[in-house]
Amino acid sequence: MLVVTNTIKIKEGHGEAIASRFGTENGVQSMPGFIRMEVWQGTPKEGVEELKICTVWESEEALNGWTSSPAFRESHRGAGRHEAIVGASLDKYELVLSRTPGN
């Protein structure tokens, strides 16, 4: 299992508007190997908000299927040019341990 985090730094006051864009249908939900997406909003610090967009995939191959798809290109067109976005970083993690209540 693979988790991809896209950390987006945004000018304070714009976080909710940008977060809401991830709630629209963009094709990721129907991609083979897609498990889920979560959008986390941090507390503003020094005039900057942070969003973490976490997507969970069955495998690296499933992620690659999404990032090479026309739906990915369409959903990301112009995304980095939003005037409220001040930075972003992408990280990938492989699941090595998972705990649930009672185990």
Q: What CATH number is given to the structural domain containing 87?
A: 3.30.70.100
CA distance 70 to 41: 28
On whether residue 72 sits in a domain, the answer given is: yes
pLDDT in tens, 52-72: 999 999 999 999 999 999 999
Q: Is residue 12 part of a domain?
A: yes
What's the mean pLDDT when you consider all of the chain?
92
Give the range of the structural domain holding residue 34, as residue numbers without chain letter.
2-94
Confidence of residue 79 (pLDDT cuts 50, 70, 90): low
* Band of pLDDT at residue 7, cut at 50, 70 and 90: very high
Give me the phi and psi of 14, to 5 degrees please: -110, -5
Is 99 a member of any domain? Answer: no
Q: Would you call 53 helix, strand, or coil by DSSP?
A: strand
For residues 9 and 47, the answer to whether their CB atoms sit within 8 Å is no
Domain assignment present for 101 = no
Q: Is the model's pLDDT at 3 over the cut of 90? A: yes
Residue 87 has φ and ψ, to the nearest 5°, of 175, 165
For position 78, what pLDDT does the model report?
A: 64
Q: How many folded domains does the chain comprise?
A: 1
- 49 pLDDT band, cuts 50/70/90, is very high
Statement: residue 50 has pLDDT above 90: yes
| Contact status, residue 18 vs residue 85, Cβ threshold 8 Å | yes
- Of 89, 73, 7, nearest to 40 by C-alpha is 7
pLDDT of residue 2: 96
